[in-house]
Amino acid sequence: MIRMSLGAFEEMKQYLGFGEADAANLAALADLVVPQLPRVVARFYQEVNAHPETRAVLSGGPAQAEALRRKLSEWLRGLFSGRYDAEYCRERAQVGRTHVRVGLPQHYMFAAMEVIWQELRAIIAGLPGCDQEAKLAALHKLLTIETGLMLESYRESYTAQVRQVERDAMWARLREAEQLAQIGQLAASLAHEIKNPLAGISGAIQVIRANLKQTDPHWPVLGEVLRQINRLDRSVKDLLVFARPKPPQYQWCDLPRAIERVLDLLRKEPEFERIRFEYSLPRDLPPIAADEHQLEQLLMNLLLNAAQASAPGGLVRLSVAARDGGVRIVVQDRGCGMSADVLRRTFEPFFTTKARGTGLGLPICRKIVEAHGGKIAIASEPGAGTEVAVDLLQHPPRADAGVLDEHSRADR
């Protein structure tokens, strides 16, 4: 960092023509100007205290204010040291880094340099018996170089801060990925352990129920048992899908037909029976390249979420439209909506505000959409409802995604 600042320092000196004569002119002013520097410091902090944003820098109390005044006095004396070498550059570069650390905006630095220039120019103009024009020219060059050096320090410091933030974010993502991988392995193991016994229990209940008359008091009880088994089965499937996602198996999908299949299943769900549902599809909607099973799971999750968020009789709307070489699927509800804090965490695995649920529905939706090269976005307001928009490409996003059968496309 110092080498970069030193290079900029030497370039600016050369560009402005700041040489030995200028250094000598400034050194000759030291005995005359340094005794009057308290006046410059006083005017400088008068300006600082006039602006809330710069006044905030002095929030550390009298001790901090005194230390800053002392540093400014030392910095001003350095202008007339006559020594403008690498050590000088190293000391001055620290000023810009300090400004970054305390959060001082750059435009205040420019204003502060103008205040210093005005005060020093007035002092030098009042000195008797000296070549004022040459000395003022040398001072102006040096203050310009100082400003450039501070800007370079600003740039270096901000760059270092951004890189550190990026490094921290990368490590946080890596830690999260490791944790999710461990959770995924555990979830997959548990899901496999549960899945087969659950299927056996479901089959046994169905056999028992088939031997009962619908008037039997146990009939509705067994029906509820089957519904709960189906709910557990969906949760197990969610765990498996999230823990071990499969790449899409592309085929030409007739989206309206896929929606009808999903709706046939949803109409039997209690959450869906209690809401009003509308959907609109254009007649000329093109087929899209997608994994039909994953697409249906995406629609199922989004529509169930919307239904569960809605009050009885609430409206859930699904709309599909052709858009920019693909399709846009929008699911809207007028339910409870989400706060900004909840909205930020909607795609976080295992996060849920529901009394029942795995918190995997929307994370799975995002995985499906991103695996298809698409985008998913959510907008929501408390009390106003939620809108989920999914953009999918008409064609596979990758050249190696597999060759689609043109005949199957024509059939659809």
User: What one-letter code names the amino acid at 389?
Assistant: A
Do β-strands 385-393 and 375-381 pair in parallel, antiparallel, or remain unpaired?
Answer: antiparallel
- Three-class SS of residue 310? coil
How far lies 100's CA from each of 16, 57, 108, 152, in Å?
A: 26, 11, 12, 11
Burial 189-199 (b: 16+ CB within 10 A, else e): eebeeebeebe
Q: Which residues of 146-159 are buried (b: 16+ CB within 10 A; e: fewer)?
A: bbbbbebbbbbbee
Place of tokens 């030497």: 10
* pLDDT for the residue 50: 79
Q: Is the dihedral of CA 235, 236, 238, 239 positive or negative?
A: positive
Matching CATH number, 251-411, of 3.30.530.20, 3.40.50.300, 3.30.565.10, 3.30.40.10: 3.30.565.10
Query: Beta strands 375-381 and 326-333: pairing type?
Result: unpaired
| Phi, psi for 378 (deg, rounded to 5) | -125, 135
Topology of domain 2-170 in CATH is Globin-like (1.10.490)
- Please give the helix or strand (H or E) that residue 290 lies within, else none: strand 288-290
Question: Domain residue spans in the chain?
Answer: 2-170, 174-243, 251-411
Give residue 2's pLDDT. Answer: 46
Residue 412: exposure state from Cβ atoms within 10 A (0-12, 13-18, ≥19) = middle
Q: What pLDDT score was predicted for residue 409?
A: 46
Domain 174-243 in CATH 1.20.58? The answer is no
Upper half-sphere CA count for residue 237 (Cβ side, 13 Å)? 12
Q: Whose CA is closest to 400, among 248, 267, 216, 201?
A: 248
pTM of the model: 0.48
CA-closest candidate to residue 288, choices 332, 315, 325 = 325
DSSP, residue by residue, 322-355: EETTEEEEEEEE-SS---HHHHHTTTSTT---SS
pLDDT at 388: 96
> Which residues does residue 253 pair with via DSSP β-bridges, in sequence order?
288
User: What is the largest distance, in Å, between two alpha-carbon atoms of the chain?
Assistant: 119
- Give the torsion sign (CA, 357, 363, 369, 374): positive
pLDDT of amino acid 140: 92
Question: Is residue 319 within 8 Å of 283, Cβ to Cβ?
Answer: no
* Amino acid occupying residue 229: I
Structure confidence at residue 403 (pLDDT)? 45
State the burial class of residue 120 (Cβ atoms within 10 Å of its Cβ: 0-12, 13-18, 19+).
buried
Give the helix/strand (H/E) hosting 279: strand 276-280
Give pLDDT < 50 ranges for the chain.
Answer: 1-2, 399-400, 402-403, 406-412
Asked if the domains at 2-170 and 174-243 fall in one CATH topology, the answer is: no
Which pLDDT score, from 0 to 100, does residue 411 have? 44
From residue 333, alpha-carbon distances to 98, 109, 130, 302, 391 in Å are 51, 51, 81, 10, 18
- H helical segments located in 281-403: 292-309, 340-344, 361-371
Would you say 243 and 185 are in contact if contact means Cβ atoms under 8 Å apart? yes
Distances (CA, A) of 219 to 210, 211, 223, 225, 269: 9, 10, 6, 10, 18
> Is 330:388 a contact under the CB 8 Å cutoff?
yes
Q: Show the CA angle centred on residue 242, arms to residues 367 and 315, nearest 5°.
A: 65
* Helix H or strand E segment including 8: helix 2-16
Q: Give me the pLDDT at residue 332, please.
A: 95
